[in-house]
Amino acid sequence: MLLQILIGLAIGLIFGYALQRTGVTKYPRVTGMLLLKDFKILKFMLTAVTFSMIGFYMLGNLGVIELHPKALDWGKVVGGLIFGTGMGLLGYCPGTLFARIGEAKKDAWVALLGMLLGILFFAVNVKFFKSNLMTKNINGDISAVLGINQWIIVPIAALVFVAIIYLANKVDDFKKNF
């Protein structure tokens, strides 16, 4: 258990450092992404998702970890919309929030308070949300939903992500030369 905590802490510190060094913790960068003017966060996150996707499935197939995809339900859709609204207004997701706290940014503490209040609101109303927004109709693993081996989906998804990153680089190059 202690080893898992230490590994998680080390990975979190490395991730926070990477967030800070790449500049994705800055509010103008977040709003630039949301306005489709700055693609650095998009490229950073697609790179992280691609490596994570490959790593998780590889570790799952090797038996190192056990994957338990969650069912897709309306709660995730509503939660994602609330999360996206908060991120757009404040310029923080949980990763960038804690990276900004590590940078000693005072506004990050306000965002943390808002996040904690949102968690508290959910905890107090969890029965309502579970009964009204949760269904178990769709498995969260797209390969299981489509009935296709995950190692067919993973390379296709990775290629799509790499293509999006390539196109984002082309747009950035075009804007620099225009």
Q: What is the pLDDT of residues 97-150, one digit of tens each?
A: 888 898 888 888 988 998 899 889 988 988 887 787 776 566 667 787 788 888
**Residue 84 domain boundaries:** 2-177
Phi, psi of 66 (to 5 degrees): -115, 125
What is the three-class DSSP state of 72?
strand
Residues 32-54 pLDDT 10s: 888 888 898 889 889 989 999 99
Provide the Cα torsion 23, 28, 29, 33; round to 10°. 170
Q: How many angstroms separate the CA atoms of 39 and 169, rounded? A: 8
The pTM (predicted TM-score) of the whole model is 0.69
The total domain count for the chain is 1
